[in-house]
């Protein structure tokens, strides 16, 4: 199959920190140091058209996250200015619908929960807390709460566990922090309280990202985390309620790793790090993750730039 790589002229005036496709791959949101969030329409042939440029942040925007299309066009952005902003498309026009500024330091990442959990998102911050925003359908308002003291020295990422059709399914997410830990959080529905269910020590340096595979394979959950120590670690659990997490070192990269994310089907894992390279992984039929050879155009002309 031939691969068409289509360049998108984002017109960002500064560094780009994130580019996220929505689940269908027909919308692309980018954000960067120029404090803007931009949305593009992407056609299957790769052509793209700018839709909107969203301004509202006062600092570099680190991350964007799309809500499930079930909720219409809904995008959240996390910025260094301590704000989480939720943008909404109403009749084809994008506007800010909610702004949340309770974190005490840079908001490092934001993630919408799977739609089965309802309209909900989590944000991580350098102040060591995790914020949870939940849309209350009755009052039509966003309700916020914060989990204090999640990771010393800051939380770097949050990622939600896959949703289940079971309405009483437990809600979980995973967080990664500068205390070299990966933590799994579980919602106690009665008390409406998040508790740390499991703490995983598998890294020797800051953990930059932990990603929860958005699908389960015969009940088996997978999490991948990567960190500055170059380790890419896979965690698996056969039964989330009873079994124990098992970890496996997928790769020891020669450089610090910063991003790891799953595709919506959980079939791909993309990892990137200091070597300015994106590596793609996929799970083969035996359940092993293998690297896919890929032409790394990103690397050209970069070398060991800091």
Partner 1 sequence: MSSKLYSRSGVFSWGPRGIQSKGLIVADFAQFFDPNAVSVEQKIDFLAASDIYEKAQLTPNVSLPTNYRFNELSWTSMCSDAHPNGIVAGGTEDGSVVFFDADKFISGQKLEVLSARKDHHGHVLTIDVSKDGRWMASGGGSGQILLWDCANLKTPFSPGAPNFPDQVKLLRWNHKNESVFASISSRRVSFWDLRRNGSPVLEFAEIPGCDWSSLCWNPSDASQLMVASQSQNASVVQKWDSRFTQTPVKEYRHHNMGVTSLDWNKSDDRLLISSGCDGQVVIWNHETSEVLGGVGSLTGDWIRSVKWNEEEPAQFAIQYFQHPVQISSLTSLGVPQPGAEVLAARVSDQFVPAWHRAPLIGSSVSLGGRLATFWKSYDVMTQQFQHNVEVETIGIQEDVGVEDIAQYLHVKDDKRNLGWYLHERAYAQSTDSSEDSELRQKVWLILLALQEGAGRTKMLSYLGLVDAQNDDVFSDHNPTTHTNSQTTTQPTTTTDRSARSTSIVSAAETDNDMTEISVIDKCSEVNWAALNTSGWDLLLNTMRQDHLAVIRVLMSSNQHVAAMMYSAQHDTENLSMILEDYNRVTQNSNPLSALTLALSASASASRTETPSHQHATKEETIQKVYKICETFPDEKWRELLGLIIAHETNTEDIRLSATTIGQKWLSQGKNLRACIAFLIGGDIDQLLLSNTSFSQVDRLKQALVLHQVLKATTYSQGLEQLIIDFTNRLLTQGAGSTAWNLVKWCQNGSAEMQELQWTCYNVAGGRDCTGDQPPLNPYNISQPQIQNHQSPNHPMRPFQQQPHPSVLAPPAMANGFNPYNPAQSQAPPPPNDYMSNRRSSNIAPMPPSSTFYQTPSWNHKPLQPPSMPPNMPPPKPAAPVTPGWNDPPPMAAKSAQPTAPKQNVMEINWKPVETAPAPGGMMRGQQMNGFSGGMGYQNLMSNGIQGMTINNQPPSATSSSFPSPTAYQQRPASVASVSAPPPIQLTPEDEKIVEPINALAQIIIDNARVQARMEKAKEFRTRIQAELSPRLAANRLSVETKQHLTHLAYFIGMRQIREAQAVVAQMARNSSDFTEISSFLPALKSLLSLALQ
Residues 149-178 contacting partner 1, CB under 8 A: 149, 152-154, 178
Query: Out of 3, 168, 242, 286, which residue is the one contacting partner 1 (CB under 8 A)?
Result: 3
Residue 272 neighbours by CB under 8 Å, 6+ apart? 257, 258, 259, 278, 279
Tokens of 232: 């890419």
180 binds partner 1 (CB under 8 A): no
Pick between residue 8 and residue 186 the one whose CB is nearest to partner 1: 8
- CA distances in angstroms from 57 to 54, 106, 207, 233, 254, listed in the order given: 9, 12, 26, 34, 35
218 binds partner 1 (CB under 8 A): no
Stretch that binds partner 1, among 194-202, 233-241, 244-252, 258-266 (CB under 8 A): 258-266
219 binds partner 1 (CB under 8 A): no
Q: How far apart are the C-alpha atoms of 7 and 25, rounded to whole Å?
A: 15
Stretch that binds partner 1, among 185-193, 218-226, 246-254, 272-280 (CB under 8 A): 272-280
Q: How far apart are the C-alpha atoms of 180 and 285, rounded to whole Å?
A: 32
CB of 244 to partner 1, least distance (A): 25
Tokens of 11: 């017109």
Long-range contacts of 186-195 (CB under 8 A, 24+ apart): 192/145, 194/130, 194/132, 194/147
Pick between residue 96 and residue 198 the one whose CB is nearest to partner 1: 96
Q: How far apart are the C-alpha atoms of 87 and 200, rounded to whole Å?
A: 34
CB of 294 to partner 1, least distance (A): 8
Query: Out of 147, 208, 227, 235, which residue is the one contacting partner 1 (CB under 8 A)?
Result: 208
236 binds partner 1 (CB under 8 A): no
216 binds partner 1 (CB under 8 A): no
Residues in the chain: 306
Stretch that binds partner 1, among 188-196, 231-239, 245-253, 270-278 (CB under 8 A): 270-278
196 binds partner 1 (CB under 8 A): no
Query: Out of 72, 199, 217, 252, which residue is the one contacting partner 1 (CB under 8 A)?
Result: 72
- CA distances in angstroms from 217 to 52, 67, 157, 239, listed in the order given: 38, 23, 23, 11
Task: Give the count of beta carbons closer than 10 Å to the beta carbon of residue 289.
Answer: 17
Query: Which residues in the 87-126 window bind partner 1 by CB under 8 A?
Result: 88, 90, 96-101, 104-106, 108, 119, 126
């Amino acid at each position: 199959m031939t691969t068409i790589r289509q360049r998108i002229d984002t017109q960002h005036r500064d560094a780009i920190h994130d580019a996220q496709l929505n689940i269908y791959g027909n919308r692309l949101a980018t954000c960067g140091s120029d404090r803007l969030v931009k949305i593009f329409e992407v056609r299957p042939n790769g052509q793209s058209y700018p839709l909107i440029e969203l301004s509202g942040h006062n600092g570099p925007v680190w991350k964007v996250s799309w809500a499930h299309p079930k909720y219409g066009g809904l995008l959240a952005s996390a910025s260094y200015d301590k704000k989480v902003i939720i943008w909404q498309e109403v009749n084809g026009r994008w506007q800010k619908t909610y702004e949340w500024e309770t974190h005490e330091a840079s908001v490092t990442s934001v993630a919408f929960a799977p739609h089965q959990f309802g309209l909900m998102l989590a944000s991580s911050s350098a102040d060591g807390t995790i914020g949870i925003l939940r849309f209350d359908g009755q009052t039509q308002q966003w309700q916020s709460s914060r989990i204090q003291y999640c990771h010393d020295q800051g939380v770097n990422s949050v990622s939600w566990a896959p949703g289940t059709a079971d309405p009483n399914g437990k809600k979980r997410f995973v967080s990664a922090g500068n205390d070299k830990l990966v933590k799994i959080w579980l919602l106690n529905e009665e008390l409406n309280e998040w508790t740390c269910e499991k703490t995983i020590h598998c890294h020797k340096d800051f953990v930059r990202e932990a990603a929860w595979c958005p699908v389960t394979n015969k009940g088996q959950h997978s999490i991948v985390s990567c960190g500055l120590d170059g380790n890419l670690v896979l965690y698996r659990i056969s039964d989330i309620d009873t079994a124990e997490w098992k970890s496996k070192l997928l790769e020891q990269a020669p450089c610090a790793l910063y991003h790891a994310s799953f595709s919506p089907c959980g079939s791909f894992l993309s990892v990137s790090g200091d070597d300015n390279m994106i590596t793609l992984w996929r799970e083969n039929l035996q359940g092993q993750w293998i690297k896919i050879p890929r032409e790394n155009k990103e690397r050209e002309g970069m070398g060991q730039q800091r």
